[in-house]
Amino acid sequence: MTLLFLSLILLSDSIDSTGSTDSCRSLSNADFKFYVTSGTNDWVVSEQYPNGVYASVVSAVSWAVVIPPETSWIWESPVIFVKTITVTRYFFVPGKLISVSFIGATDDYSTVKINGGASCSIPSFDKYYSCDFTSSVIPGLNKLEIVGVDLAPIGANIMYKLIIVSKLV
């Protein structure tokens, strides 16, 4: 469905002012940029849920950073403070990979890995951090893992956005 929608957009963008499609672009020349964002499709494993549960969107405190668009603070529900959780999300990269950037924030801190490769640390909760994961991601199915740790009985949140660019072939 997404590729059909993308095809229609590219086709409509390639129609010139006379209505001719002679200059129609091939999808193989297009960069395909998409986002994977935190939300209720993330899987959370913790002491309370050893077999896992889908993440819940949780309220952030008033000073919390924002990562637009459509990125939510998540944790398990009900929120249990002072603990460690593991958030997992699978995502698919079509075509030839060009770049992968991770932007994330955590209350209190977390470690991020993709496909078990190099890790990225998010050391504090007062701003978001960015990491380049291009070397860890492959065309096809990928696994994002975030281990989040909450140290205090106030706030327990993870928020992230992956920005992925690939070339459709």
In angstroms, rounded to a whole number, what is the distance separating the alpha carbons of residues 68 and 150? Answer: 23
- In this prediction, residue 107 carries a pLDDT of 82
Phi and psi at residue 28, to the nearest 5°: -70, -15
Q: Name the residue among 36, 148, 10 with its Cα closest to residue 91.
A: 36
Res 93: pLDDT: 95
Distance CA 115, CA 119 (A): 10
* Cis amide leading into 78 (omega within 30): yes
Going residue by residue through the chain (169 aa), what tens digit of pLDDT does each one get?
Answer: 343 333 333 433 434 444 545 556 666 678 899 999 999 999 999 888 899 999 988 876 655 677 766 788 888 877 776 688 899 999 999 999 999 999 998 888 899 999 998 899 988 777 788 999 999 999 999 999 999 888 877 667 888 999 999 998 7
pLDDT, position 4:
34
Q: Kindly list the distances between the CA atom of residue 126 and the CA atoms of 60, 67, 108, 133, in Å, as whole numbers in the listed order.
A: 12, 13, 9, 22
What pLDDT was estimated at residue 75? 82
**Residue with the two structure tokens 């009985």:** 153
> Which pLDDT score is estimated for 66?
72
Closest by CA to 125, choosing from 105, 144, 151, is 105
Residue-wise pLDDT for 78-104, tens only, equals 777 668 889 999 999 999 999 999 999
Complete domains list, the chain, with CATH: 32-167 (2.60.120.260)
Exposed/middle/buried for residue 115 (C-beta within 10 Å: 0-12, 13-18, 19+): middle
Q: Name the residue type at position 107.
A: D
Picking from 45, 36, 40, 32, the residue whose alpha carbon sits closest to that of residue 57 is 40
Confidence at residue 3, expressed as pLDDT on a 0 to 100 scale: 39
Helices (H) and strands (E) in the chain, counts: 1, 12
Q: What is the pLDDT of residue 48?
A: 84
